[in-house]
Structure 1
Amino acid sequence: MAENAAKRLKTADGGAGAVAIGTHNGHFHADEALAVYMLRQHIPIYSGAKLVRTRDPALLETCHTVVDVGGVYDATHNRYDHHQRTFATTFPGRATKLSSAGLVYLHFGREIVARRLASPQESEQVGLIWRKVYESFIEALDAHDNGISIYEPAGIAAAGLEKKFSDGGFTLGAMVGRLNPNWNDPVPEDPALAQAAEDERFVTASQRIGEEFDRDLDYYTKAWLPAREVAAGAFAARQEYDPEGRIMVLKGQSAPWKDHLYTLEEESQEVGKVLYVLYTEKPGPDAKWRIQCVPVTKDSFQSRKPLPEVWRGFRDEELDKISSIDGCVFVHAAGFIGGNKTFDGALAMAKKALEI
């Protein structure tokens, strides 16, 4: 039976002739909230698009594009549902099954990134950001909506690991989920008003998750990508400071390097690994220098080669005497970072640490 008109979203968006995006009504989730946002805010044809929230197949059939409902994935007809038993599509190089957010990003993500960079969709930079934003943001939504845990539950149980405290469950998915009405919130008696209130919450959720997506996109296009150039230059010059390339120096203003370093090492296919990275605390000729140990992995607290144990926890003149290097500022008690007043001093610390 056709759905009651009160169960359809009637938004102020979209004038005559505007395309319509369909998605389901009822309890909403992060994936369709973001899918709708990406289309409406980043793809010109959907600018000002009408939004139709329904499960009525007849109404969905009238929509130009449908996400997260309808039981069909067919990009040629703008249908992006993932709930079919036969659905198994993943992002290139990733194992996580896509949700509606991942499907929309798979097909429109390159255009979104290209517009932000003002570059051709086929460019290497667009491809880098397209993949990075998926891995850093979209994939978590795909996994959440498909019930995929970040860790294998059986492996966690076998290892006997338990949470020591609650993290509040604040994920991207939970952030959107909290914008749904509570079970005991007052509901207008008029079905049309009740649907309108639910629809308003969805629009708020779509905007909220979209703002986070835009922040992620801005970071990777405006900060992460330029940092890659800085890290690549330093990586290429690393043998100037150590024949085996174990010391990397970021000249001038320091930039985020960890993520890029692992990629650069993988791409170079060289056996040796960078152990220490040197950079200034701030721009300027009088800036102090830091020596940081490269972690085993990007998110690890374990260093490939920590600074010498005999230096750890000491500062200033006392550290000068222990290390026989002038200008020392400190070495952290955990041995993952240290400092010196000058570049020459920091480099001397790195070279001596390699020998101990």
Structure 2
Amino acid sequence: MRSQNLSVCSTQSTSREIMVSDNSSPQEPTATKRQRPEMKIGTHSGTFHADEALAVYMLKLLPKYKNSTVVRSRTPDILEACDIIVDVQGKYDGLKHFDHHQRDFSETFSTDFKTKLSSAGLIFKHFGKEIISDELNTSVDSADVSLLYTKLYSAFVEAIDGNDNGESAYPDNIKPAYNASGITLPSIVAGYNPSWNEPRDDVYMDTQFEKASKLMGEVFSSKLKFYAKSWLPARELVRTALVESTKYDDEGRIMVFDTTVTWKGHLFDLEEEMKIEGRTLYVLYSDGASWRVQAVPVSNESFTSRKPLPEPWRGVRDQALSDLTGIDGGIFVHASGFIGGNKTREGALEMAKKALEM
């Protein structure tokens, strides 16, 4: 993802503008800079939060707003002079105004989600596909962009929305075992604001907001890179393995990878999508030196397997395991039966096939 150098103007109580940084290229001709219209992103001055810090960063990932100035103010006329306004003014129209504080606001990301949007969710809802397509260098209408759009919201942005709107991820009757609030991104962003007994001058506040926006944006960009470059390719490998599973068992109960792949979460999603829930019982993969045969759990969060490896094999190792199973190259079977090992791909596959019949 592109790195950013935010330009922030403070107009908290007057029309005074303070330029913290300039994004224009030093080689750009002066005439060109004069001709280029300066876009402005408006948000509120004073104490800032994770949602508008992220919203501003996401906007500046777009070509239209890449070189824009961020105007932080509470003065309506100054804000209305901006090209887009986030987290202030009490309006949401999906075009210029992206605030969520009005009494009748109830917008969610889609009908599949219940969490009310913050300014971060609003900007992502309207511009997320464009941001993702730019990262992938592909059409905004592609299936991959749509998939990542929903995944990135549910895996990251939704939590920012819920936190800013005071919506707990847990029922009220569940008491946490410890306090994790101090290590969340919103709490870290809050720490960039001055303490009650520290100065709150405009220049300092704008500088701190710039730091907070950069922090939120770097995490967002890292998440997007992971889901685009790692999570998505792994999903396609799991899909291929599911399609090819009938090569190893007529009912498609054995899935084979020739390398280590993050498969578990994808398996449950794809089984549901392909309407084959519960079909896969064993997954084979290489750890680089030997092979593993792992029993699939009943759910992504469960330690209970759909079909554990046979009870007589559990806790047996090496030659004793080979003698017991009649399969050369035995390494081990875990005492719970959730995983076993063999020196070769052929041996691991034979273990899985024999386990199906026991």
TM superposition score category, shorter chain reference: 0.7 to 0.9
Structure 1 segments of 4+ aligned residues over 6 angstroms from their partners: none
1:39 equivalent in alignment to 2:62: no
1:291–1:337: 8 Å Cα contact kept in structure 2?
A: yes
Report the Cα distance in structure 1 between the residues aligned to 2:316 and 2:350, rounded to whole angstroms: 17
Task: Give the corresponding residue for 1:30.
Answer: 50
Task: Give the corresponding residue for 1:159.
Answer: none
Q: Given residue 18 of structure 1, which amino acid in structure 2 is its aligned partner?
A: E
Q: Given residue 50 of structure 1, which amino acid in structure 2 is its aligned partner?
A: T
SS of match in other structure, 1:237? helix
Report the Cα distance in structure 1 between the residues aligned to 2:134 and 2:17, rounded to whole angstroms: 32
Backbone CA RMSD of aligned residues: 2.2
Shift of the 37–47 alpha-carbon distance from structure 1 to 2, 3 Å rule, reads same
**Cα displacement (A) at 1:311:** 3.2
Task: Give the corresponding residue for 1:234.
Answer: 241
Report the Cα distance in structure 1 between the residues aligned to 2:185 and 2:351, rounded to whole angstroms: 42
1:22–1:65: 8 Å Cα contact kept in structure 2?
A: yes
1:4 equivalent in alignment to 2:23: no
1:151 to 149, 164, 170: 170
Task: Give the corresponding residue for 1:106.
Answer: 125
Task: Give the corresponding residue for 2:75.
Answer: 56
SS of match in other structure, 1:329? strand
**Cα displacement (A) at 1:322:** 4.0
SS of match in other structure, 1:27? coil
SS of match in other structure, 2:64? helix
Report the Cα distance in structure 1 between the residues aligned to 2:319 and 2:313, rounded to whole angstroms: 12
1:331 to 327, 330, 333: 333
332-341 vs 224-233, which moves further: 332-341
Report the Cα distance in structure 2 between the residues aligned to 1:102 and 1:256, rounded to whole angstroms: 28
63-72 vs 261-270, which moves further: 261-270
**Cα displacement (A) at 1:118:** 1.2
Report the Cα distance in structure 2 between the residues aligned to 1:258 and 1:243, rounded to whole angstroms: 22
**Cα displacement (A) at 1:6:** 8.4
316-325 vs 95-104, which moves further: 316-325
1:259 to 253, 260, 265: 265
225-234 vs 104-113, which moves further: 225-234
Task: Give the corresponding residue for 1:247.
Answer: 254
SS of match in other structure, 1:143? helix
Task: Give the corresponding residue for 2:357.
Answer: 355
**Cα displacement (A) at 1:347:** 1.3
Task: Give the corresponding residue for 1:340.
Answer: 342
Q: How does 1:134-173 map to 2 (within 5 A)?
A: 134-154=153-173, 156=174, 162-167=175-180, 169-173=182-186
Q: Given residue 30 of structure 1, which amino acid in structure 2 is its aligned partner?
A: A
Residue by residue over 1:181-227, the C-alpha shift from the partner in whole angstroms, topping out at 9 and shown as x without a partner, is 3334x32xxx7xx2211111111111111111111111111111211
Task: Give the corresponding residue for 2:191.
Answer: 178
Report the Cα distance in structure 2 between the residues aligned to 1:228 and 1:292, rounded to whole angstroms: 18
**Cα displacement (A) at 1:340:** 1.1
2:193–2:208: 8 Å Cα contact kept in structure 1?
A: yes
1:9–1:52: 8 Å Cα contact kept in structure 2?
A: no
**Cα displacement (A) at 1:169:** 4.1
Gaps of 5+ in 2: 1-10, 25-33
TM-score using structure 2 length: 0.86
**In the comparison of the two structures, how many residue pairs are matched?**
336
